[in-house]
């Protein structure tokens, strides 16, 4: 089995920016796991064939956490009207600039992992179109309808029935 980590990230206090929290919890429920509380990232529960966490942002300190996984599925919100409302793309370390900052893109996190560990991780991004980024915790109606389809996309990636296309497709 391909050991997989699902990493949702975003800001719960900025409406649709927190959609990944809802996707991760819906995913966990589908796997028969307990949903995360808002103050629990899931980082203390790692060790299963398929793990899932929710964090505020991707940071360099996560590089070591990726050891032992073969695949990472990132879940986030996006605002690009040119992308599908539910967007899926392969993530490659080759897409990253290696600038060391306090936050990073999925490609940069994978690139640093590769540089430090000498191996690639399979990476995918499942991104949900956000429409409301005001200061509150409710998802917009449009974004809320994409939570379960995003979970379906993640489960398809786990079953190897499909994959996300490369970003340039």
Domain boundaries, the chain: 4-158
Which pair of tokens denotes residue 4?
A: 């997989």
Other Cβ atoms closer than 10 A to 39: 5
Q: What is the pLDDT of residues 11-38, one digit of tens each?
A: 999 999 999 999 999 999 999 999 999 9
Contact indicator for 48, 5 with CB cutoff of 8 Å: no
Is residue 161 packed enough to be buried (19+ CB in 10 Å), middle (13-18) or exposed (0-12)?
Answer: exposed
User: What's the DSSP call for residue 14?
Assistant: B
Q: Is 10 left (phi over 0), alpha (psi -120 to 50) or beta?
A: left
The CA radius of gyration of the chain, in Å to the nearest whole number, is: 15
Q: What is the pLDDT of residues 146-165, one digit of tens each?
A: 999 999 999 999 997 667 77
Residue where the block lists tokens 């899932």: 52
Q: How far is CA 151 from CA 18, 72, 88, 169, in A?
A: 15, 14, 12, 22
Contact indicator for 140, 130 with CB cutoff of 8 Å: yes
Give pLDDT, residue 94. Answer: 85
Dist. CA 126–CA 124, nearest whole Å: 7
Give pLDDT, residue 169. Answer: 44
Dist. CA 120–CA 7, nearest whole Å: 17
Give pLDDT, residue 166. Answer: 73
Q: What is the pLDDT of residues 114-147, one digit of tens each?
A: 999 999 999 999 999 999 999 999 999 999 999 9
pTM given for the model: 0.94
Topology of domain 4-158 in CATH is Rossmann fold (3.40.50)
């Amino acid at each position: 089995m391909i050991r997989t980590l699902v990493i949702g990230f975003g800001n719960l206090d900025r409406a649709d920016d927190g959609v990944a929290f809802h996707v991760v919890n819906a995913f966990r429920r589908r796997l028969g796991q307990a949903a995360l509380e808002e103050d629990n990232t899931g980082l203390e529960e790692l060790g299963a064939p398929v793990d899932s966490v929710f964090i505020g942002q991707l940071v360099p300190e996560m590089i070591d956490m990726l050891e032992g996984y073969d695949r990472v599925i990132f879940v986030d919100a996006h605002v690009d009207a040119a992308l599908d409302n539910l967007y899926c793309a392969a993530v490659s370390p080759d897409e990253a600039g290696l600038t060391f900052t306090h936050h990073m893109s999925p490609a940069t996190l994978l690139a640093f992992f590769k540089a430090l560990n000498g191996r690639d991780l399979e990476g995918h991004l499942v991104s949900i179109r956000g429409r409301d980024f005001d200061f509150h915790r409710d998802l917009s109606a449009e974004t809320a309808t994409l939570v379960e389809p995003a979970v379906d996309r993640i489960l398809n990636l786990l079953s190897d029935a499909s994959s996300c296309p490369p970003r340039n497709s």
